[in-house]
Amino acid sequence: MAKKMRLFIPGPTPVPPQVAEAMARPLIGHRTQEFADLYRRLEEKLRKVFGTQNEVYVLTCSGTGGMEAAVANVVNPGDRVLALVTGKFGERFAELAKIYGAAVDALEFGWGNPVDVALVEARLKSQKYKAVLATHNETSTTVVNDIRAIGELTRRYGALLLVDAVSSLGGIEIEADAWGVDILVTASQKALMVPPGLAMVSVSPRAWEAINEGRAPRYYLSLPAAKKSLTKFNTPYTPAVSLFAGLDVALDMILDEGLENVYARHRIFAQATRAAVRALGLKLLAPDACASPVVTGVWAPEGMNADDLRRLLLKEYGVLLAGGQAQLKGRIFRISHMGYIDAVDLLGALGVLEIGLQKFGYPVTLGAGVAAAQAVLAGGGQDV
C-alpha cells in the first residue's frame, strides 16, 4: 500500500482538502477584477488575524523573503538595530540586518530560553536603537516570546518593533496594533495551512515614516511598490495566484472556527503532547512557562540519535517529525501540531512514536504517552 505522508513538521504543514481544491481551480489573470476581489477579501481577513487596521501586503516569496522585506525597507546602512535572539530564526533576522549594513547588537538568550524583557529594557535605556527585531514563536527551540511586553518597551523608548511571526500567526494570539508591532511578518505554510510561497507583512504608520526615508536598495521586496499596487488590490509583479486562492479558503476556515477557538485548540494540543512526553519519561526542550502552543521539542533519550528515530518513523509509518537545527541536530525531535492537525492525527503520531522508541531499545509501556494525551484531550485541557 502506498504510504500516507503525514507531516508533523513546522512547515510545510498539511493542507486541508478545501484549500487544495481552491488552488486546483482554473487560474485567473492577475490583472483582472476577479483577482482584485480576491486580494480585497484576503486583505480584510488578514487584518483580523493580524489584529491590525493597517495594510497587509501579500508577497510572493517564503517567510524569509518577508523578513528581508521588513529589514530592507526599514534599515539604512549604519542604523543601530537590537536583535533579540532565542534560536536559529532570531539569528537569521540579525544576519539579515547585518547584510543590509545595520550596526546590529544581538542579545542572545540561549537556545531554549525566552527573551528576558528586563535585559531588553536595560539595553534600550543605555542606547538609542532604530529598530528591535524579535521572533514570536522561535520554531527551532519551541519557545514563545512575550511580544506584548517587548512592544511596550519599544514604544516607550522610541524604537520600531519588527516581528517574525512566521510560525505563530493563525496559531498563537498576536495583536499587531494593540501590542505595538510596527512590522509583522508571517508566511503561508505554517499555521495558515497553505503551501509555501507567500509571505504577509503588515506595516504601521510609524514604520512608514522610516520606510519613506529608506536608502537601502530594494526592488522585488519594495514595500512602497506593494503599497502603491494595493490601492488597486494588485501586486507589482506576478503573484502566486493559486496560493492567493488557497489562502482565501484557509482564512475562512480560521475565522469560521473563531480566532479564540483556534488559539485554544493549539494550546490544548501542546498540553496533550507535553503530557505524553512526560508520561514516557522523556525531557521537554522548553519549560512550561514559555512553551510553544504550535510545536513541541523533545530531547532524545540518552544514547539515541533523534534523527535515526525520525528516519524510522518516516520509513515505517509515513510520519515526519522535525529534527533539531544547528547545535540541537540529532539531539532533539520536534512534533508540530500547528494548522490542520486534529486529535486523531496527534494521537496517531504519539502512538507510533512509542513504537519507534521501543524499537530503539528505550523502555516504553506502550500506550502510556497516548493515554496521557487522551486524558488532556478528553478533559478539554486545562486551558490557560
The number of residues that bind ligand PLP (CB under 6 A) is 14
Site membership for ligand PLP, residue 166 (CB under 6 A): yes
Cβ atoms of 196 and 12 closer than 8 Å:
yes
Sheet of 56-60, strand order: 56-60, 198-203, 183-187, 160-164, 131-135, 80-85, 103-108
- For ligand PLP, which stretch binds (CB under 6 A), given 59-67, 119-127, 146-154, 346-354? 59-67
Q: Are 309 and 333 in contact (CB under 8 A)?
A: yes
Q: Are 222 and 73 in contact (CB under 8 A)?
A: yes
Q: Which of 64, 242, 305, 374 binds ligand PLP (CB under 6 A)?
A: 64
> Which stretch, 18-26, 61-69, 213-221, 361-369, contacts ligand PLP (CB under 6 A)?
61-69
Q: How far apart are CA 320 and CA 6, in angstroms?
A: 6
Cα separation, 313 vs 233, in Å, equals 45
Per CB under 6 A, the list member of 55, 79, 164, 182 interacting with ligand PLP is 164
Tell me how crowded residue 53 is: count the other CB atoms within 10 A of its CB.
11
253: nearest Cα among 167, 125, 339, 363: 339
Residue 327 is classified by DSSP as G
Any idea how long the chain is? 384
Contact range with ligand PLP by CB under 6 A, out of 56-64, 94-102, 143-151, 349-357 = 56-64
Alpha-helix residue ranges (DSSP H) falling in 171-240: 176-179, 205-212, 223-230
Nearer to ligand PLP, 90 or 351 (CB): 90
Looking only at residues 175 through 194 of this chain, which bind ligand PLP when binding is defined by CB under 6 A?
A: 187
Q: Which is nearer to ligand PLP, 167 or 235 (CB)?
A: 167
The string of DSSP letters for 118-144 reads HHHHHHHHHS--SEEEEESEETTTTEE
- The residue (of 221 and 357) whose beta carbon lies closer to ligand PLP is 221
For the bound state, the minimum distance from the C-beta of residue 40 to ligand PLP, rounded and expressed in Å, comes to 25
Residue 68 or 182 with smaller CB distance to ligand PLP: 68
Among 62, 86, 271, 336, binds ligand PLP (CB under 6 A): 62
Rounded least distance, CB 139 to ligand PLP, Å: 3
Of 164 and 248, CB closest to ligand PLP: 164
- The nearer residue to ligand PLP, 13 or 352, going by C-beta atoms, is 13
Peptide bond into 16 cis (omega under 30): no
Q: Which residue in 10, 324, 369, 381 binds ligand PLP (CB under 6 A)?
A: 10
**Checking DSSP bridges between strand 319-323 and strand 6-8, what pairing results, if any?**
parallel
User: Does residue number 13 form part of the binding site for ligand PLP (CB under 6 A)?
Assistant: no
Contacts (CB under 6 A) with ligand PLP, residues 119-158: 135, 137, 139
Residues contributing to the site for ligand PLP (CB under 6 A): 10-11, 62-64, 89, 135, 137, 139, 164, 166-167, 187, 196
> Which residues does the annotation place in the binding site for substrate?
334
> Which residues does the annotation place in the binding site?
334
